[in-house]
Structure 1
Amino acid sequence: MLITGKIIKSYGILGWLEIVSFTENKETIFKYSPLYIYINKKYEVIKIEKWKKNKKKILIKIFDITNRTKSQKFVKKNIFIKNSSLPKLGNNEYYWKDIIKCKIFNEENIYLGKINKIIDIKTYDILVIKTNKKQIKKKEILIPFIIKKYIKNVDLYKKKIIIKNYSHFV
């Protein structure tokens, strides 16, 4: 299961809930089906009756939830989808979930560190590398995730990424 959003709070008296979507385009979360929450030690499908945008907020109405009291059991719950729901990607396209924790090496096969997080700056993503302190003095280095220019090879099976132009980043 993959977290794709979170239910933040109840909204109004009719059982609506405010959510945060972790998908790149916030409304894309509704294209994945079914959506799940983890409740009572198991994943349960949430059946969304309707959803709407209210200013910058995304609101959902779940079937059979008709008032604020009933909606409270969903508050602060993560929203999940099955990994198998994700569309297949093309060449040189990767999901963040697959890139996080990959080990980073330079072209001389020297281990530099592990990807700790990824920052989206709209034009491209930035890999935040928690460094191998034996090789590098900095705690973190930032590497643009631009294939061919800075990224030489991505091997998701081995969880290994080889970068080019290493000297630009230290």
Structure 2
Amino acid sequence: MLTPDEVLVVGRIVSVHGVKGWVKVYSYTDPIENIFDYQPWYLFDDGAWREVKLGGRRRQGKGLVAGLDGYDDREQARRELVGREIAVPRSQLPESGDDEYYWRDLIGLRVKLDDGRDLGRVHSLMETGANDVLVVRGDGDSLDRQERLLPWTPGQVVRDVDLDAGELRVDWDPEF
């Protein structure tokens, strides 16, 4: 049985498709079809991650649809699959390269200025047209409890990432 630390959620089953038990899949991967590269899938069910196998998959318009082994009825798929998150073992993901990070690795890091002052923790990241943005939330150990949006620009705003120390160093005006 997989623990929550061993899986990474990569998508969600959002509705049924057709009459043969297929489902519409919302993928968090980029490009969205990459979700099909990770096999097997795990669905959270009755307090545990349960393995499921893909019986079929395809792009459908702007989205994705999939058939899962053992589900060949629309109503059964609606009852048992819709709303479930899709996860894969973290071990299936390729190693990140030098100076490359998975978003999941950045979430929770302490964000500190070059002079050591603490801005808080990385709460999440947002994708924008120009660059990704770190959402940093202040807490009881930081300068204040302010939420800040910092551009993910390594070598400019982001000076250093130390995953072992759980810290990210930035060049940023805390008044901004």
What are the ranges of 5 or more consecutive residues in structure 1 without an aligned counterpart? none
Local SS of the residue matching 1:84:
helix
- The 1:122/1:83 distance shift into structure 2, 3 A limit, reads farther
Structure 2 residue aligned with 1:24 = 30
> Does the 8 Å contact 2:119/2:174 carry over to 1?
no
Between the aligned partners of 1:115 and 1:157, the Cα distance in structure 2 is 15
**How far 1:50 moved relative to its partner?**
1.1
- The 1:169/1:23 distance shift into structure 2, 3 A limit, reads farther
**How far 1:114 moved relative to its partner?**
1.0
Structure 2 residue 8 is the aligned partner of structure 1 residue 6 = no
Between the aligned partners of 2:110 and 2:174, the Cα distance in structure 1 is 18
- The 1:31/1:169 distance shift into structure 2, 3 A limit, reads farther
What are the ranges of 5 or more consecutive residues in structure 2 without an aligned counterpart? 1-6
Between the aligned partners of 1:129 and 1:78, the Cα distance in structure 2 is 26
What does the per-residue CA deviation read over 1:47-87, in whole Å, with 9 as the maximum and x for residues that have no partner? 11111122122110112311102212011111011111110
Instruction: Say which of 115, 118, 133 aligns to 1:126.
Output: 133
Structure 2 residue aligned with 1:108 = 115
Structure 1 residue runs of 4+, over 4 Å off?
none
Local SS of the residue matching 1:66:
coil
Q: Which amino acid aligns with 1:34?
A: P
> Does the 8 Å contact 1:111/1:132 carry over to 2?
no
Between the aligned partners of 1:149 and 1:77, the Cα distance in structure 2 is 40
Give the length in aligned residue pairs: 168
Structure 2 residue 95 is the aligned partner of structure 1 residue 88 = yes
- The 1:139/1:158 distance shift into structure 2, 3 A limit, reads same
Between the aligned partners of 1:61 and 1:30, the Cα distance in structure 2 is 11
Q: Equivalences for 1:16-165 in 2 at 5 Å?
A: 16-72=22-78, 73-132=80-139, 135-136=143-144, 139-164=146-171
> Does the 8 Å contact 2:40/2:54 carry over to 1?
no
Local SS of the residue matching 1:167:
coil
> Pairwise CA RMSD of aligned residues?
1.8
- The 1:82/1:169 distance shift into structure 2, 3 A limit, reads farther
Q: Which amino acid aligns with 2:81?
A: F
TM-score (norm 2): 0.88
> Does the 8 Å contact 2:18/2:74 carry over to 1?
yes
